[in-house]
Chains A and B, each alone.
Chain A
Amino acid sequence: MAATATLWNKQMRKFLANPEEMFGLLIQPILWVVLFGVGMKSMLSADMPGSGEPYVTFMLPGIVVLSALGGAIGGGSVWLTERLRGIVKEYLVAPIPRLSILMGNALSTMTKSMFQAIIILFVGLILGAKLSPNPLGWLGGLVLVAGFGLGFSGIALSIASQTDNPGAYHAMIMVFNLPLLFLSNALYPLATMPTWMRIGSLLNPTTYTIDGLRQMMFRDPAALAGSDPLPLWLCWGVVLAFAALGMWLAYTTFRKSIK
């Protein structure tokens, strides 16, 4: 626990001392919301079919998740660099649990994703998105995104533990990133998908994260989903299981890589 906090603190201090990284991290989600959201909105003639809400509200949770995915990819990249440069060895000879090393990385990634999520919501509000009036819902939504980020961080850390090549890492991570993002209800409603795609989406933890977000963070959730909402307990269950599974995967591959 103490070691996780120390490593988290170190990553955050490095982040705050690096204006380029901060700028990029803050600007990216704004660009997504403004460029993608506004473009799609005009194409969709302002309103979603079967819904009174503008598309910006619909796709905001998608952008939050997209940013979390991007953050986790960055976290894996940091991990790969630390491995290649031998910095991980400093952690390994220290009297700290192996899992705390990975958790330090994943939690700092998640913290950055939280910052991004808050900015995205703020920009969304300016563009006319309708948030839920319940602050507990916002908090719940952020925790849900954190859980999802932890799960995908685990996948990224696992891949980064198995390769010594940054190019291979980025190629491999895209194999996971793209279906997680696009084979889900992030950008289009489940109701309008062909059946095979809907089945794929229902096997994807992203779908449950986004559905949970829409129900907790935004007003009139049923209409927003464009179809019946998934049970909220199921959303939480899937996301928490995904988080645990991701970190377990990272832990076992990391253990194997240091034998």
Chain B
Amino acid sequence: MNEGLDNGPAIEARGLVKRYGDQVVAVDGVDLSIPANRIYGLLGPNGAGKTTTISILTTLLEPTAGEAKVLGLDVVKQAGDVRQRVGVTFQEMVLDDELTGRQVLDYHGRLYRMGKTERQAKTEELLALVELEEAAERKAKTYSGGMKRRLELARALMTTPEVLFLDEPTLGLDPQTRARIWDYLRALKEESGMTLLLTTHYMDEAEELADTVGIIDRGKLVAEGTPQALIEEMGADTIHVIGEGDREAFVENVSALPFVQAVDVGRTVIQVGVDLGSKRLVEIIAQATDSAFTIQDITVAKPSLGDVFLKYTGRRLRDTDSTQTHHRMLLMS
């Protein structure tokens, strides 16, 4: 908008580090460059550094090292200007639920020094957008989880932000509500030209929404690309092998096969990317026999973002328990 940002990235980070004491490194040298009017999905397991990254970008935390800019503004030196122009929703429910839905929006607008007429108009518009008009006069504590999330989204949009940060926007919601929130977010990007950065540990969310996905693990960005490009790297089909015996020999022999496009060795699962899974299954099994490797389980699937994630982090996302995250975050503030 101003300060010559028309062509620069909306969000930019270089060598971002956040350390707590000498031991804990929450973010370990993250670089980001997110163009305007994109949806960027930061994907990672619990404790990977997603929330810390978002906290730095939204000026809640100062980085130990590195620098970050939002809309060309330094998040430490120009924190006040950044705050004025971004919207945030947090991982945990952050609502003063003694207030009615309308009051929540109104007080938020007042904190940003919006005039009364502007606040009222915006409140009506957003209550309609997130379909909370009928509940507007009720205290937020009577809302369902999905309604609270929608109210939080409306609150973040109250000040017409240019960049919207969403930390796990659909955590713990039912599939129907999640789909509805995805629709809102897509519409925001299309209609208002907003830039969105969201964190998630749901593969489907990243795949559905994000133009670009960044996979973050142990404080580092380990992969980045469009969901499609990341999945295509995995090969046309993926064969998942679990077994015991001489793993190294098996991996070596499988890698040597001409039709194998990628082999990724996880702690338990070996992923083999091939051109056509059903056709190559027998040949993979034959390699196991030759390598003194006993297969306990073998499956063929179209690769998903989940496989990409497994490849880069060696972990499956579904190991993580969303309710646990929720409680942990409540205690952390």
Which A residues have a C-beta under 8 Å from some C-beta of B? Answer: 2-3, 6-7, 9-10, 13-14, 17-18, 82-96, 164, 258-259
Question: Is A3 a contact partner of B333 (Cβ separation < 8 A)?
Answer: no
Known: A94-B83, A95-B83. 17 other contacts (CB 8 A): A2-B113, A3-B111, A6-B110, A10-B103, A14-B96, A85-B330, A86-B93, A86-B329, A86-B333, A89-B333, A92-B60, A93-B60, A93-B88, A94-B108, A95-B80, A95-B81, A259-B62
Question: Is B99 a contact partner of A93 (Cβ separation < 8 A)?
Answer: no
Considering the complex, give the chain B residue whose CB is closest to the CB of A101. Answer: B111
Question: Is A84 a contact partner of B330 (Cβ separation < 8 A)?
Answer: yes
- 30 A-B pairs within 8 Å (CB atoms) are namely A3-B111, A6-B107, A9-B110, A10-B96, A13-B103, A14-B98, A14-B99, A18-B98, A83-B333, A84-B330, A85-B330, A86-B90, A86-B93, A86-B94, A86-B330, A87-B96, A88-B333, A89-B60, A90-B94, A90-B108, A90-B111, A90-B155, A91-B111, A93-B58, A93-B60, A94-B108, A94-B112, A95-B83, A95-B84, A95-B112
**5 tightest Cβ-Cβ pairs between the two chains A and B:** A95-B83, A86-B94, A86-B333, A6-B110, A95-B84
Considering the complex, give the chain A residue whose CB is closest to the CB of B110. Answer: A6
Min distance, Cβ A10 to any Cβ of chain B, angstroms: 5
Min distance, Cβ B20 to any Cβ of chain A, angstroms: 10
Which A residues touch B110, using CB under 8 A? Answer: 2, 6, 9
Bitwise, B109-127 to A at CB < 8 A (1) or not (0) is 0111100000000000000
Question: Is A6 a contact partner of B111 (Cβ separation < 8 A)?
Answer: yes
Bitwise, B137-157 to A at CB < 8 A (1) or not (0) is 000000000000000000100
Considering the complex, give the chain A residue whose CB is closest to the CB of B100. Answer: A17
B331 at the interface (CB under 8 A from A): yes
Which B residues touch A13, using CB under 8 A? Answer: 99, 103
Which A residues touch B96, using CB under 8 A? Answer: 10, 14, 82, 87, 90
User: How far does the alpha carbon of A82 sit from the alpha carbon of B107 in the complex, in Å?
Assistant: 15
User: How far does the alpha carbon of A91 sit from the alpha carbon of B62 in the complex, in Å?
Assistant: 16
Bitwise, B56-82 to A at CB < 8 A (1) or not (0) is 001111100000000000000000110
Which B residues touch A83, using CB under 8 A? Answer: 333
Considering the complex, give the chain B residue whose CB is closest to the CB of A92. Answer: B60
Min distance, Cβ B103 to any Cβ of chain A, angstroms: 7
B92 at the interface (CB under 8 A from A): yes
Min distance, Cβ B234 to any Cβ of chain A, angstroms: 38
User: How far does the alpha carbon of A10 sit from the alpha carbon of B107 in the complex, in Å?
Assistant: 7
Which A residues touch B103, using CB under 8 A? Answer: 10, 13
Question: Is A258 a contact partner of B60 (Cβ separation < 8 A)?
Answer: yes
Question: Is A89 a contact partner of B111 (Cβ separation < 8 A)?
Answer: no
Considering the complex, give the chain A residue whose CB is closest to the CB of B333. Answer: A86
The majority secondary structure among interface residues of chain A is: helix
Bitwise, B168-208 to A at CB < 8 A (1) or not (0) is 00000000000000000000000000000000000000000
Which B residues have a C-beta under 8 Å from some C-beta of A? Answer: 58-62, 80-81, 83-84, 86, 88, 90, 92-96, 98-99, 103, 107-108, 110-113, 155, 329-331, 333
Min distance, Cβ A216 to any Cβ of chain B, angstroms: 36
Min distance, Cβ B165 to any Cβ of chain A, angstroms: 9
User: How far does the alpha carbon of A13 sit from the alpha carbon of B110 in the complex, in Å?
Assistant: 14
Which A residues touch B107, using CB under 8 A? Answer: 6, 9-10
Which A residues touch B94, using CB under 8 A? Answer: 85-87, 89-90
Which A residues touch B93, using CB under 8 A? Answer: 86
Question: Is B83 a contact partner of A85 (Cβ separation < 8 A)?
Answer: no
Which B residues touch A95, using CB under 8 A? Answer: 80-81, 83-84, 112
Min distance, Cβ A44 to any Cβ of chain B, angstroms: 44
Which A residues touch B80, using CB under 8 A? Answer: 95
Question: Is B60 a contact partner of A164 (Cβ separation < 8 A)?
Answer: no
Which B residues touch A88, using CB under 8 A? Answer: 333
Which B residues touch A84, using CB under 8 A? Answer: 330-331, 333
User: How far does the alpha carbon of A36 sit from the alpha carbon of B108 in the complex, in Å?
Assistant: 44
User: How far does the alpha carbon of A259 sit from the alpha carbon of B112 in the complex, in Å?
Assistant: 23
Most chain B beta carbons < 10 A, residue from A2, A3, A10, A93: A93
Which A residues touch B330, using CB under 8 A? Answer: 84-86
User: How far does the alpha carbon of A92 sit from the alpha carbon of B331 in the complex, in Å?
Assistant: 17
Which A residues touch B155, using CB under 8 A? Answer: 90
User: How far does the alpha carbon of A86 sit from the alpha carbon of B326 in the complex, in Å?
Assistant: 12
Considering the complex, give the chain B residue whose CB is closest to the CB of A88. Answer: B333
Which A residues touch B60, using CB under 8 A? Answer: 89, 92-93, 258
User: How far does the alpha carbon of A83 sit from the alpha carbon of B60 in the complex, in Å?
Assistant: 13
User: How far does the alpha carbon of A18 sit from the alpha carbon of B139 in the complex, in Å?
Assistant: 12
